[in-house]
């Protein structure tokens, strides 16, 4: 379609502010963004919709427009809801770069424009398929009250007899049709998310078709920011943050029209995803401000002032938060560097979702910032948690990853890692700097473990394991091999179970009687095994230093 056709559509209510000579440009897609630099999500030919949240002052307009022009977009449409009108500096920048600029009246939802462009670019639908999209458009134009993703899923069920659900990359059920029957079980959600992430990492084209327990499913990627189905330049930048649409059907024999419709539906749901992300902007900004103050060594009074601003946003109606916790996450990939900070931020918001929180957005108590490849969450604990015991009533590291480990491991696909650290709860601004460092140290402890997805809590920092993450990997490997390889080799040849015996002996604090009882051995047999361990390693298990070396080697193995 041509840009000129947008002006001819009265329902869109667009006003041309500049670029009249460029209206014959073709439009190949649509993208909604408030990123300061959305270039990695642009492939050229898009109509870019923006609410102007990226603009802090007049100097921001020129670099933003330059980025869009270099990416080859067709035009820019700016909403008037944020500032009342499109600022003159943006009009001037677009004119300088010959980029057509439209004003979007505050009464017109971006979803309306998105659906119109998607429908025009995709071509005409068969009657019933077009009716689904058209009915959804009418409901979406009323804003969040229109029902969000649940509405379009209801329409897919009523008009096309398709049961469908929207899932997070970690397998959380985000939306489902009210008429779809029983909710999708949590274990099925997790398995579908894992199948989807594995397929994305191997480069298979959407939809991904899988069968679980005899039921076929087709999985469609929901790409935030209006990105094309081919995704960004490096899929690792978004694989752990994009939603997916799971449809209970095998799309293998679907006609192109129906496949095209489902791709359009994912774009409409992506609009809702972007709206939810925009609603998190204030919380993210508060977390970023607090993080910068804490890292810069600001006075506790200044940090406390920011916390007083943050608390009513994160805990509406409660005034202040008695306690705060800090959670740190890091996403790391092997090989070529990947911008992992935004991915870690979105992933940490997902992992910290609290289904008990009230309101339409279950994670509305979480404020997450990111710096470099690290994401930092500021989590307020309400009074009820504080009364139940402070840190013990807060977030526990072991519980964070219980339900998301398998899907995330599939998305990491052997070349990535996710590690998290959790601090103890603190009751004032003075404690936040220590809590941040504590969470970072705990994350390093988690990183020292094997596995693709690991977490550690503040409780573990009181023991010897605090030292392990700071020992170089090659030193740890050499130390472990020198001490334990002779025992492993002997066990392989003779099935002597020297390693399990050593573990039990240390766990029983060197007590011959308790260890023999645990292993169901005669004490003389135990003494023989321990003697063999000492002979093979040249160590003496009666000496505290040698016991400690064995203990550390076993923990690092």
DSSP assignments along 165-233, one per residue = EEE-TT--EEEE-TTS-SPPPHHHHHHHHHHHHHHHHTTPPSSEEEEETTEEEEEEEE-GGG--TT-SS
Residue 98: is its pLDDT beyond 90? yes
Between CA 66 and CA 4, with CA 103 as vertex, the angle to 5 degrees is 85
Nearest residue to 354 (alpha-carbon basis) of 364, 344, 345: 364
| Amino acid 359: pLDDT | 36
Residue 461: is its pLDDT beyond 80? no
Residues 171 and 70 in one domain: no
Q: Which residue has the higher pLDDT, 345 or 312?
A: 345
Computed over its alpha carbons, how large is the radius of gyration of the chain?
A: 28
Residues 334 and 458 in one domain: yes
Residue 230: band (very low, low, confident or very high) from pLDDT cuts 50, 70, 90:
very low
| Amino acid 390: pLDDT | 40
What tokens were used for 53? 């949240």
Residues 286 and 382 in one domain: yes
Average pLDDT in the 282-304 region? 85
- CB within 8 Å of 268: residues ≥ 6 apart: 111, 114, 115, 118, 133, 136, 137, 140, 152
Most confident of 150-154, 176-180, 455-459, 523-527: 523-527
Residue 450: is its pLDDT beyond 70? yes
Average pLDDT in the 350-370 region? 60
Residue 382, exposed/middle/buried by CB under 10 A (0-12, 13-18, 19+)? middle
Residues 456 and 311 in one domain: yes
> Pick from 221, 250, 277: which residue ends a domain?
277
Average pLDDT in the 211-238 region? 72
Share of residues in the chain with pLDDT > 90 (%): 22
Least confident of 129-133, 177-181, 236-240, 288-292: 129-133
Q: Which residue has the higher pLDDT, 167 or 258?
A: 167
| Amino acid 336: pLDDT | 58
3-state SS assignment for residue 521: coil
Q: How far is CA 258 from CA 11, 167, 252, 413, in A?
A: 26, 21, 11, 31
Q: Which residue has the higher pLDDT, 231 or 149?
A: 149
Q: Which residue has the higher pLDDT, 544 or 472?
A: 544
Query: CA-CA distance, 308 to 41, in Å (whole number)?
Result: 36
Residue 449: is its pLDDT beyond 50? yes
Average pLDDT value for the chain: 79
In a domain, residue 125? The reply is no
* H helix runs in 405-472, sequence order: 405-412, 432-447
Nearest residue to 172 (alpha-carbon basis) of 182, 183, 161: 183
Average pLDDT in the 413-429 region? 83
> Pick from 245, 277, 309: which residue ends a domain?
277
Residue 540: is its pLDDT beyond 80? yes
In a domain, residue 138? The reply is no
> Pick from 48, 83, 108: which residue ends a domain?
108
3-state SS assignment for residue 143: helix
Residues 309 and 402 in one domain: yes
Residues 177 and 252 in one domain: yes
Q: Note down the domain range covering 37.
A: 3-108
Least confident of 65-74, 123-132, 345-354: 123-132
What is the CATH number for 169? 3.30.450.30
In a domain, residue 98? The reply is yes
How many CB atoms are closer than 10 A to CB 125? Answer: 18
Residues 288 and 352 in one domain: yes
Find the farthest-apart pair of alpha carbons in the chain and give their distance in angstroms, rounded: 96
Residues 242 and 313 in one domain: no
Query: CA-CA distance, 112 to 98, in Å (whole number)?
Result: 26
Q: Which residue has the higher pLDDT, 498 or 120?
A: 498
In a domain, residue 347? The reply is yes
| Amino acid 394: pLDDT | 59
Query: CA-CA distance, 250 to 197, in Å (whole number)?
Result: 18
What is the CATH number for 389? 3.30.70
In a domain, residue 286? The reply is yes
Residues 398 and 501 in one domain: no
Residue 406, exposed/middle/buried by CB under 10 A (0-12, 13-18, 19+)? middle
Residue 469: is its pLDDT beyond 50? yes
| Amino acid 202: pLDDT | 78
In a domain, residue 119? The reply is no
Residues 360 and 421 in one domain: yes
Residue 309: band (very low, low, confident or very high) from pLDDT cuts 50, 70, 90:
confident
Dihedral of alpha carbons 500, 502, 508, 513, sign: positive
Backbone angles phi, psi at 241, to 5 degrees: -130, -15
- CB within 8 Å of 350: residues ≥ 6 apart: 168, 169, 170, 172, 241, 363, 404
- Number of independent structural domains in the chain: 4
| Amino acid 91: pLDDT | 94
pTM to 2 decimals? Answer: 0.58
Residue 388: band (very low, low, confident or very high) from pLDDT cuts 50, 70, 90:
very low
What is the CATH number for 524? 1.10.10.2840
Spatial contact of 491 and 497, defined as CB atoms under 8 Å apart: yes
Residues 456 and 518 in one domain: no
In a domain, residue 498? The reply is yes
Strand 453-457, strand 416-422: pairing = parallel
Residue 298: is its pLDDT beyond 80? yes
* H helix runs in 56-126, sequence order: 61-71, 88-96, 110-122
Q: How far apart are the first and last CA of the chain?
A: 61
Residues 228 and 368 in one domain: no
Bridge partner list, 166: 175, 245
In a domain, residue 136? The reply is no
């Amino acid at each position: 379609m041509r840009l000129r056709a947008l002006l001819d559509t009265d329902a869109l209510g667009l006003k041309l502010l500049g670029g009249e000579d460029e209206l014959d440009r073709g439009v190949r897609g649509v993208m909604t963004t408030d990123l300061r630099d959305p270039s990695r999500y642009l492939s050229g030919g898009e109509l870019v919709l923006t609410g102007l949240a990226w603009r802090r002052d007049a100097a921001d307009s020129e670099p933003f427009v330059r980025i869009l022009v270099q990416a080859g977009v067709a035009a820019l449409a700016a909403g008037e809801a944020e500032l009342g009108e499109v600022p003159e500096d943006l009009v001037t920048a677009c004119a300088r770069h010959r980029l057509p600029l439209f004003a979007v009246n505050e009464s017109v939802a971006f979803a309306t424009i998105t659906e119109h462009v998607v429908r025009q670019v995709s071509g005409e639908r068969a009657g019933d398929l077009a009716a689904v999209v058209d009915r959804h458009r009418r409901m979406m134009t009323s804003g969040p009250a229109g029902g969000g993703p649940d509405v379009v899923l209801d329409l897919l069920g009523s008009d096309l007899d398709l049961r469908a659900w929207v899932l997070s990359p970690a397998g959380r059920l985000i939306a489902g049709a009210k008429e779809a029957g029983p909710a999708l079980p949590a274990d099925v959600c997790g398995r579908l998310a894992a199948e989807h992430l594995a397929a994305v990492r191997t480069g298979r084209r959407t939809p991904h078709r899988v069968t679980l327990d005899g039921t076929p499913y087709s999985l469609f990627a929901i790409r935030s920011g209006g990105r094309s189905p081919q995704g960004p330049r490096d899929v690792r930048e978004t694989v752990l943050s994009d939603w997916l649409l799971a449809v209970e059907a095998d799309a293998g024999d679907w006609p192109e029209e129906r496949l095209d419709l489902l791709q359009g539906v994912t774009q409409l749901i992506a609009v809702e995803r972007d709206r939810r992300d925009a609603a998190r902007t204030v919380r993210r900004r508060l977390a970023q401000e607090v993080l910068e103050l804490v890292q810069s060594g600001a006075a506790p009074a200044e940090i406390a002032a920011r916390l007083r601003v943050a608390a009513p946003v994160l805990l509406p109606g409660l005034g202040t938060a008695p306690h705060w916790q800090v959670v740190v996450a890091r996403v790391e990939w092997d090989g070529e560097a990947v911008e992992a900070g935004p991915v870690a931020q979105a992933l940490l918001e997902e992992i910290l979702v609290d289904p008990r929180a009230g309101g339409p957005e279950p994670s509305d108590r979480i404020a997450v910032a990111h710096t470099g490849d690290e994401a930092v969450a500021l989590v307020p604990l309400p009074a009820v948690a504080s009364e139940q015991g402070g840190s013990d009533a807060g977030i526990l590291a072991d519980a964070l990853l219980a339900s998301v480990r398998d899907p995330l491991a599939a998305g990491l696909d052997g070349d990535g890692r996710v590690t998290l650290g959790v601090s103890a709860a603190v009751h004032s601004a003075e404690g936040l700097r220590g809590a941040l460092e504590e969470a970072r140290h705990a994350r390093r402890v988690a990183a020292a473990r094997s596995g693709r997805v690991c977490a550690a809590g503040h409780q573990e920092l009181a023991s010897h394991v605090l030292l392990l993450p700071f020992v170089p990997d090659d030193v740890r490997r050499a130390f472990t091999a020198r001490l334990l390889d002779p025992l492993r080799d002997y066990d392989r040849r003779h099935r002597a179970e020297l390693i399990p015996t050593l573990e039990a002996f240390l766990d029983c604090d060197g007590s011959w009687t308790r260890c023999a009882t645990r292993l169901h051995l005669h004490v003389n047999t135990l003494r023989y095994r321990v003697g063999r361990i000492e002979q093979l390693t040249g160590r003496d298990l009666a000496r505290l230093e040698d016991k400690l070396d064995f203990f550390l080697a076993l923990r690092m193995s």
